[in-house]
Structure 1
């Protein structure tokens, strides 16, 4: 009886004690992290409700209190570029962060061509295995995760890696070459937050509110918040896969069916779980490589991608956040005769984004793709071209030539079409003996390969059998590998289609 009374007393006392939980940090805040220089420094995490948090940094103390849900955030003053810092976070427990750097942080988004690691393309770049260490280039890979139940407070997992011969194989290949190129021009730590998923469509990286312009996608995202709806959808997907396998025994499930019958690629899923949790961070810029998974319906990609850019800028409270993106590479066998192409339409949509959305840069890749691999190995050229855009937009190097030659205007002169181009810098050049990649059509829009030659401001295009040209295309194909018009600086001319009066 005495024991029971004592136990009851102890339990009664404990019932009135405040609840304690170990203080934790957001998973992206860890040893070797790079934090954006020149911006207020946000540190955030979780603790017991109303718990007092103290942060010790460079001899100063910063305090905060967790809210009713246990969420807390402390803001430190902006810092100059530097390395080797220690930050201590104290609540009921103590967390010590070591080797923290302040530099420039870039968010690397998109699908598989951004996700592809250096190890996956190392056969193209064997010397990278023997690179000297770049301890101030650091990479954080956000673990794949999705969630349809609103914007999440934290990512699933990740780890900061310093660049060395033993680690760079795990880096996003595009990100590695991008950061390595910037390191040649900027003596500051470079951090890459690599948050991307292969085969993901643009809608999966958009917020629920951003999808208001796309009712079908937004409705699906809202329905996916209902567990019963998700179970029904999964059952339908399972039935589709089983039906295909029954009709096609001993065959591998096609990629298109496999992808279409997976939940995680649906609208908002990756945004909620892999982008929204990074909201307190500040970035020097975004690099983006995506679009292949939207080529089935390319005609409104510009509207969708522009909306994504605006929503990310709003999320991070950086209205002029530089956005450097890759135009789709060439892929598949080249066409024997000119024809329509969804890949060409999507590239043109990407060009529209560059032309209409401020603080963007577009890196072309129509000269580095591969016929039989949607994942071309030449990630170095892509990374370097993205870096050109960053040097201009993020660092203000106004003498950098980062824009590929683009259509300015076109006019008919007798039976020839004079194409005027802008962004030609020091001039134009042809890689090869004969200028190729142009197609021309009359009113019937039956395109034929055209003759073409350089002029002082662009190109002259014609076909002897078309006396009244009405349309001209350049590099308009899934794989325009024959297109060989470049700027003198080595940037490929931008694909286009133009209707003539």
Structure 2
């Protein structure tokens, strides 16, 4: 009756938690890191994926299922990018086996990962906490009305003939031309719509016989289905993943071919992102796909105008009996993932935890730094280690570009993340403001994030003397200049580019002005002679700041965004 357990190794276990940027799989990064990850195997780096589970009736004791997977070119593609590069850096440095426990859920707010006692101190959560602890069924109704189902015995209406927009021989001569990329507003679409796009290709026999094929259509907001010669080669159900669709030999033909995308969007800002590749790769041959597209907006039956003198028939409503329904929690509900996913992980002995989250709390959680510090204090108790290393990945750059600082959004979350590392002992911040894209919440160039987090681990978990990102420690006003002092100077501050950008100073009315800056020894000097009674300094205080990041230390670690009152 014994059990045989194979391939047992002893090493360091790290827990990775947060939302979708902690989940981004390696398969999305092949354009950037493919040559590396597709030629790397390591049986001593393994990942365990914790299944998504909400629980409100108390901490769960174990997982329903799960298994460990070692890193190979085949298994790694579904692994998460940040933990993967973190683990490789730790292994390369210490030659110790590294176990990744991946415990993250996309779109979640920090409240979902917090314990009830963390939130009990905030009155606005009292009613929600009570509802979740003691769910009350919704009042029973005598019935409700719904449409769409035919009463018993009623014949269904025959479906209208469907046009196959993916077919090679479709007559699209009256479709309008369009350039990639573009947004729906550029083709006069202001509401929700389904748009079909077609592009013809004329290939040689050699091109059509290619075995290593990849169609790249950037990133589209919101969802798509994509076909070549009527064969579906890929689909994506939401906005963020790049539309990179690999397909096999045999779909392409010598001569004329057609690409067709069925794209569904929900407003004028739906469409294709700028700054991405639109091309077809056939082995080493690359065919640009920016020009030559045609499009057609599908006319929905319920949107068609009725012939003159006719009115639309009223929908037949069907009476449906309903019963009392239990309270249904949403992704944002507090403590569900803490009980359902985090607490079972606490059965393990771990070396540290890594946190990458904040997007879903942008603009709604002014006390994010305190939330995060309180949550991590509870996690440390759960893991039975009051000095458990905590590594926090600061949010990267994203959202629309602006010139002046903004009052809310990602900048506030970054500051909360920075402050949390000061409220907690043995914690480290990984700065990511020089990474990301304004139009894609999920950057694929996450290797530096993983490796910077690993440097934080070297200090907090392995006792190494390493230099992290500089942080401002003091701002002094003297003789019309502000002098900024920093920690983590290392071998000195350096500027990448022609000048230092990103600094702004407020006057006595709270209005901010951008200011010039220069390096003076190990300090930064801001020139504020024209500002009336300067009050506060902000650095990189915007959502998208990547293009303003120029100030680093000599160890190539960017200065952390911050705000600070003058002394």
TM-score relative to the length of structure 2: 0.65
Distance 1:249 1:177 in 2: 39
Partner of 1:203: 111
SS of equivalent residue, structure 1 residue 410 = strand
Distance 2:47 2:94 in 1: 17
Q: Note the C-alpha offset of 1:495.
A: 1.2
Q: Note the C-alpha offset of 1:447.
A: 1.1
Q: Note the C-alpha offset of 1:252.
A: 5.9
SS of equivalent residue, structure 1 residue 305 = helix
2:477 is the alignment partner of 1:412: yes
Contact 2:90–2:96 (CA under 8 A) maintained in structure 1: no
Deviations 1:89-115 (A, max 9, x none): xxxx43322111111000011111101
Partner of 1:103: 11
SS of equivalent residue, structure 1 residue 94 = coil
Deviations 1:288-341 (A, max 9, x none): 101111112231111111111011111111111101110111111221233323
Distance 1:339 1:268 in 2: 31
Q: Which structure 2 residue ranges, 5 or more long, are not aligned?
A: 141-145, 147-190, 194-263, 268-327
Q: CA RMSD in A?
A: 2.1
- Counterparts of residues 235-274 of structure 1 (less than 5 Å): 263-274=330-341
Partner of 2:538: 473
Q: Note the C-alpha offset of 1:120.
A: 2.2
Distance 1:118 1:416 in 2: 47
What is the total number of aligned residue pairs between the two structures?
387
Contact 1:298–1:349 (CA under 8 A) maintained in structure 2: no
SS of equivalent residue, structure 1 residue 188 = coil
2:403 is the alignment partner of 1:339: no
- Counterparts of residues 136-285 of structure 1 (less than 5 Å): 136-229=44-137, 263-285=330-352
Distance 2:508 2:475 in 1: 16
Partner of 2:560: 494
Aligned counterpart for 1:430 among listed residues 495, 507, 510: 495
Residues 366 and 232 of structure 1: is their aligned pair in 2 closer, same or farther, counting only changes over 3 Å?
farther
Distance 2:444 2:192 in 1: 34
Distance 1:252 1:224 in 2: 35
Q: Which structure 1 residue ranges, 5 or more long, are not aligned?
A: 1-92, 234-238, 240-247, 255-260
Partner of 2:507: 442
**Structure whose residues are more often helix by fraction:** 1
Contact 1:218–1:267 (CA under 8 A) maintained in structure 2: no
Distance 1:327 1:132 in 2: 28
SS of equivalent residue, structure 2 residue 450 = helix
Distance 2:477 2:346 in 1: 51
Residues 207 and 467 of structure 1: is their aligned pair in 2 closer, same or farther, counting only changes over 3 Å?
closer
Contact 2:472–2:562 (CA under 8 A) maintained in structure 1: yes
Aligned counterpart for 2:522 among listed residues 457, 469, 472: 457
2:466 is the alignment partner of 1:400: yes
Contact 2:39–2:73 (CA under 8 A) maintained in structure 1: yes
Residues 222 and 94 of structure 1: is their aligned pair in 2 closer, same or farther, counting only changes over 3 Å?
farther
Partner of 1:355: 422
Distance 2:524 2:361 in 1: 31
Contact 1:471–1:499 (CA under 8 A) maintained in structure 2: yes
Distance 2:123 2:365 in 1: 17
Q: Note the C-alpha offset of 1:445.
A: 1.9
Deviations 1:169-201 (A, max 9, x none): 121110000000111111121100001001111
Partner of 2:257: none
Residues 222 and 121 of structure 1: is their aligned pair in 2 closer, same or farther, counting only changes over 3 Å?
farther
Deviations 1:236-279 (A, max 9, x none): xxx9xxxxxxxx8768679xxxxxx9623311111111111123
